[in-house]
Amino acid sequence: MTRLLLALVLIVSAASAQAAVRIKDIADIKGLRENQIIGYGLVIGLNGTGDTLRNAPFTEQSLQSMLENMGINVRNETTSTTNPARPTTLRTRNVAAVMVTADLQPSIGAGERMDVTVSSLGDATSLLGGTLVMTSLRAADGAVYAVAQGAVTVAGYSVGGQAQNVSQGTPTAGRIPNGALVEREVQGSLHEMEFLVLELKNPDFVTATRILDAINRYAGGRYRAQIAFERDYRTIVLSKPRHIGPVRFLAEIGELTVEPDTPARVVINERTGTVVIGRDVRISTVAVTHGNLTVRVTEMPVVSQPAPFSRGQTVVVPQTVVEANEAGSQVAILSGVDLQRLVRGLNQIGLKPSGIIAILQAIKTAGALQADVIVQ
């Protein structure tokens, strides 16, 4: 298991060291991003699995407001002195209050459709078979950008009785494919930008320099000019030539390939025993040994019975057996010039993932591990 894990780490790291990626996969265009929108609505048509209106008063208030907007009086209000106003108690279990969320794409236009996610707010047990009533979706600026409505698709279920319940997935959350209709476009366009700015998803000085050189090398032969200028280790400014459109220009730049640089980092997940070692991790020469001391305590009580006619009592006599075993261990010298030697040195000791994690943490404490250790 240990050899397989370390071999997998070696293969992945070696492959990532030799692979070049496209610029559009490691950088985004500043100003072109998704916007989150949210709305509050009601899901109707549930088969008795909706909110309990007594426990979810906001559902009752929303239902009353919706019916009143349609001209239906559900509050039983009157101005008679002999018959004072008395609110009507709603007892339906076919309605659930939900929050509707979606991500508004930067290039989406008015009239297009997109998917939305519906999540229950009250004590509804399932949204299966429900239909979302028209719900306005707003952004952080308070403007309405889309309107959602449609049948809710739920992947999970929950059924059971008084003594047993069987559930799978989350029946109180679902999606509506193409359930939202875009009413307003996001302000901003490529044609309105004076300069195009690339933002690295993983900021790094070396990666930014390689992207800059790749773009200027391509632009020197294509446009006879230097069009890329670094602003910092995270952003690169592009000056678009006048005779080409922004879409074609970004398409050409995005297809250029570079080899991104990665920091020397070791990621450890102690819960799952996962160890990921970056290809630039270096270890100074150290001697490592790892041994396990196993102590086993076994209780074997013995029943002691008195002799016949002795008027004695039967008692249980405790009997404990303690065994201690310390397995032999090897001393290995780790001089990790590269990842391959590090993996080979750890394989010589023959460790489990938990042992590898302990050794890496000890080497980092000793100051011999030249990398950042991240424990998840």
Please tell me the predicted confidence (pLDDT) of residue 16: 45
* C-alpha 326: how far from chain center: 42
Q: Region of 287 please: left (phi>0), alpha (psi -120 to 50) or beta.
A: beta
The HSE-up count of residue 58 (CA atoms within 13 Å, CB side) is 12
CATH of domain 189-258: 3.30.70
Q: Where are the domains of the chain?
A: 35-77+89-154+169-182, 189-258, 265-375
Burial of residue 106 (CB within 10 Å: 0-12, 13-18, 19+) is middle
Structure tokens at 201: 């998803």
Give me the tens of pLDDT residue by residue for the chain, a chain 376 residues long.
444 444 444 444 444 445 789 998 999 888 777 889 999 999 999 988 889 888 888 888 888 888 888 888 877 655 455 555 555 567 788 999 999 999 988 878 888 999 999 999 988 888 988 999 999 999 988 999 999 999 999 987 666 666 677 767 788 999 999 999 999 887 766 666 778 889 998 888 999 999 999 999 999 888 888 889 888 889 999 988 888 888 888 889 999 999 988 888 888 887 887 888 887 887 777 776 766 655 566 667 777 777 777 777 888 877 777 665 656 555 555 555 565 666 666 666 666 777 778 878 888 888 878 888 888 8
* Distance from C-alpha of 310 to C-alpha of 313, rounded to nearest angstrom: 9
Q: Where are the alpha helices (DSSP H) in the chain?
A: 2-18, 23-26, 57-69, 205-222, 246-254, 339-349, 353-366
Place of tokens 């039967």: 314
Please tell me the predicted confidence (pLDDT) of residue 282: 79
Please tell me the predicted confidence (pLDDT) of residue 336: 54
Inter-residue contact 336 to 281 (CB < 8 Å): yes
The DSSP H or E segment spanning 216 is helix 205-222
Please tell me the predicted confidence (pLDDT) of residue 101: 95
